[in-house]
């Protein structure tokens, strides 16, 4: 299909309107995002939108009007309640979509067979001109390919829909930048289904009580039906892993944990503080800039090889709720806490790390055990199993899709190169699990953590720590301990000892150091002294 590139001129609007009247589809700017429009009353035309976007047919479209009079003239609704009137008066034209009982003229293709219809009166002059010239309500979802962020520039539409739409009208950047607020009046009290440019606070001023659907901020629980069909679809997932970071220490924390494949989305005032690729999203309190820039930034990042992206966790009120709603999905609901105090704990085997850790635990610290997390990941993270089997052979997986750890070990520890590959695959997953466990326990009230990791330095885990404590002990003491603890022979213990680093390997890199060369009580005393110092 040839795609006409049109401008925002009366002649081009007429061309676009003719395409619509003949059952074609046109990408058009609105104040929120670009829409892919067809005659909402023409089922065949509307079907083309679904094909062009690759959108599931059971996800209904929004019907766009250019004046209130159209609502009745085209028999769009069955009932326009007082609440609908109040919303229309206050927020239309503008970025608000209202769900109403559906009128007879709306074909099933537009409403996906529902008894309700979503209606919006946009404020963008180009959208209004097109609706007026076509003289029919326009069904228009966002003009992106399904699975991509909504388009906020004509170039985004060109990237997604060239050869798939009849025309694209270039009307510059969309001002709001995120899709409209969606509220349903088909329930009482009204329910907010999607946050956007019109805020919950503004809606409450007009409607009194409204309910914010749980799916706006939280993962849709399995088995629960979505209040809006759009909620159940897996949303846009960026190529990179995105993490939302909460807490005051955003800049130092991200600077510490970022590696060379990372980028950061940040406030304008912080953009020069990072030694990594930074995407400024606007001044910290310029919330409109955040919605305006968000999707373009996500699209830019998708065009790079960046593997990890950190973004400040937006507040859950005002227009920021819309940014939170889009970003938390892009982040697959991963939030991490920049303000947690994390003390790395490392050292050679048998030095007394476990005893030290249990002493911290007695003082209310939460112990994050990297070895335990690694075992859990092997058990249940299908992403890591997929990557491992691609490198070490499909037969490292058992019949039921689990991991044959012995087989993996025999291959992964066969030579240095294989071990390097194993670590390259597993470490990012382990540290993701570390960050998520810290967040989970922060939510439960913990603020101090031990990251217990024997290979903390080798794995680059130091960057996840506020400070690192090394526990070492004389070789003879350590040998005695592991012979006793693991019930092994002197020879086996010596063999293990040979694989250990020297003490200086740990002490040179660590910030704090305890030599466990006397008895247990002395170690416990040393730990207690340290805890008082840290506090
Ligand atoms: O800002 C916007 O709303 C843009 C511009 C182009 O107007 N449009 C847009 O459309 O974002 P779309 O299709 O990408 O999102 C519409 C959302 C979907 O999540 C859909 O499931 C929901 O609205 N929706 C539509 N009709 C509905 C209905 N009758 N009941 C519940 N949800 C509905
Ligand atoms: Mg959409």
Question: In this structure, are 502 and 475 located in the same domain?
Answer: yes
> In this predicted structure, what is the pLDDT of residue 70?
97
Question: What's the gap in Å between 142 CA and the centre of ligand 2?
Answer: 4
CATH, residue 252: 3.40.50.11030
Spatial distance between the Cα atoms of 372 and 369, rounded to a whole number of angstroms: 5
DSSP state of 454: T
- Closest to 51 in 3D by CA, of 16, 23, 11: 23
Segment 356-367, tens digit of pLDDT: 999 999 999 999
Single pTM value for the model: 0.93
Question: Can you tell me the mean pLDDT for 272-292?
Answer: 98
Is 149 among the domain residues?
yes
H or E element in which residue 262 lies: strand 262-266
Distance 89 CA to ligand 2 centre (A): 26
For residue 389, say if its preceding peptide bond is cis, omega within 30 degrees of 0.
Answer: no
Are 117 and 181 in the same domain? Answer: yes
156 and 53 share one domain:
yes
CB 313 within 8 A of CB 324: yes
Tell me what pLDDT residue 496 has.
Answer: 85
Range of the domain at 436: 341-534
Judged by DSSP in three states, 33 sits in coil
Together in a domain, 145 and 291: no
Residue of the nearest CA to atom 21 in ligand 1?
230
CB 144 within 8 A of CB 156: yes
pLDDT tens track for 371-424: 999 999 999 899 999 999 999 999 999 988 889 999 999 999 999 999 999 999
Q: 303, 334, 365: which is the final residue of a domain?
A: 334
| 476 and 356 inside one domain | yes
Is 489:483 a contact under the CB 8 Å cutoff? yes
Portion of the chain with pLDDT greater than 70, in percent: 100
One domain for residues 159 and 251:
no
pLDDT of residue 234: 63
Mean pLDDT within 253-257: 97
Mean pLDDT within 116-129: 98
Residues with CB under 6 A from ligand 1: 30, 32-33, 35, 59-62, 97, 99, 111, 114, 116-118, 120, 140-142, 179-180, 182, 193, 228-230
> Would residue 485 count as lying in a domain?
yes
* Same domain (yes/no): 440, 487: yes
Same domain, 309 and 375: no
Q: How many Å lie between the centroid of ligand 1 and the Cα of residue 183?
A: 10
Q: Is 233 within the bounds of a domain?
A: no
Q: Output the domain CATH number for residue 31.
A: 3.90.870.10
Q: Point out the domain boundary residue: 318, 334, 350.
A: 334
- Do 187 and 246 lie in one domain? The reply is no
Are residues 409 and 305 both part of a single domain? no
Return the CATH number at 409. 3.40.50.300
Residue 236 belongs to some domain of the structure: no
Mean pLDDT of 420-429: 94
The verdict on residue 44 lying in a domain is yes
Return the ligand 1 atom nearest residue 178 CA: 1
Same domain (yes/no): 204, 286? no
Residue 153 clears pLDDT 90, i.e. is over it: yes
Instruction: Provide the pLDDT for residue 450.
Output: 98
Q: Please compute the mean of the pLDDT values over residues 339-358 and round it to a whole number.
A: 96
Q: Number of structural domains, the chain?
A: 3
pLDDT of residue 244: 98
Q: For residue range 11-53, list pLDDT tens digits in order.
A: 999 999 999 999 999 999 999 999 999 999 999 999 999 999 9
């Amino acid at each position: 299909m040839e795609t006409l590139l049109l401008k925002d001129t009366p002649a081009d609007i007429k061309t676009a309107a003719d395409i619509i009247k003949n059952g074609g589809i046109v990408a058009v700017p609105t104040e929120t995002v670009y829409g892919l429009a067809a005659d909402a009353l023409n089922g065949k035309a509307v079907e083309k939108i679904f094909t062009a976007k690759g959108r599931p047919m059971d996800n209904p479209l929004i019907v766009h009007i250019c004046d209130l009079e159209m609502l009745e003239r085209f028999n769009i609704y069955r009932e326009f309640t007082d609440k609908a009137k109040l919303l229309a008066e206050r927020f239309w034209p503008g970025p608000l979509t209202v769900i109403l009982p559906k009128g007879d003229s709306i074909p099933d293709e537009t409403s996906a067979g529902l008894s309700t219809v979503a209606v919006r009166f946009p404020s963008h002059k180009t959208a209004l001109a097109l609706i007026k010239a076509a003289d029919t309500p326009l069904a228009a979802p966002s003009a992106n390919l399904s699975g991509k962020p909504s388009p906020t520039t004509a170039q985004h539409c060109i990237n997604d829909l060239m050869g798939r739409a009849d025309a694209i009208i270039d009307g510059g950047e969309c001002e709001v930048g995120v899709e409209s607020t969606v509220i349903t009046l088909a329930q009482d009290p009204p329910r907010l289904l999607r946050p956007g440019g019109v805020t919950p606070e503004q809606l409450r001023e007009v409607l009194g009580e409204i309910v914010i659907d749980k799916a706006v901020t939280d993962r849709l629980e399995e088995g629960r039906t979505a209040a809006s069909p759009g909620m159940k679809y897996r949303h846009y997932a960026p190529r990179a892993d995105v993490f939302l970071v909460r807490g005051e220490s955003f800049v130092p924390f991200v600077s510490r944990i970022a590696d060379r494949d990372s980028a950061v989305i940040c406030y304008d005032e912080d953009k020069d503080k990072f030694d990594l690729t930074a995407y400024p999203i606007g001044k910290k309190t310029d919330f409109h800039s955040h919605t305006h820039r968000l999707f373009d930034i996500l699209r830019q990042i998708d065009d790079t090889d960046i593997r990890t992206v950190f973004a400040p966790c937006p507040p859950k009120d005002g227009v920021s709720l819309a940014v939170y709603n889009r970003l938390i999905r892009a982040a697959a609901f991963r939030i991490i806490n920049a303000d947690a105090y994390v003390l790395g704990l490392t050292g050679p085997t048998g030095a007394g790390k476990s005893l030290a850790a249990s002493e911290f635990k007695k003082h209310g610290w939460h112990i994050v055990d990297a070895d335990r997390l690694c075992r859990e990941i092997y058990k249940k993270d299908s992403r890591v199993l997929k990557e491992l089997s691609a490198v070490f052979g499909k037969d490292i997986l058992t019949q039921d899709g689990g991991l044959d750890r012995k087989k993996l070990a025999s291959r992964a520890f066969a030579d240095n190169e294989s071990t390097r590959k194993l670590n390259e695959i597993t470490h990012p997953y382990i540290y993701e699990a570390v960050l998520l466990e810290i967040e989970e326990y922060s939510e439960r009230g913990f603020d101090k953590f031990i990251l217990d990791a024997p290979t903390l330095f080798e794995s680059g885990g130091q960057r996840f720590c506020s400070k690192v404590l090394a526990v070492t002990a004389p070789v003879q003491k350590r040998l005695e301990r592991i012979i006793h603890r693991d019930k092994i022979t002197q020879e086996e213990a010596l063999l293990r000892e040979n694989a250990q680093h020297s003490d200086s390997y740990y002490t040179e890199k660590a910030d704090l150091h305890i030599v466990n060369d006397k008895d247990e009580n002395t170690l416990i005393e040393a730990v207690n002294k340290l805890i008082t110092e840290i506090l």
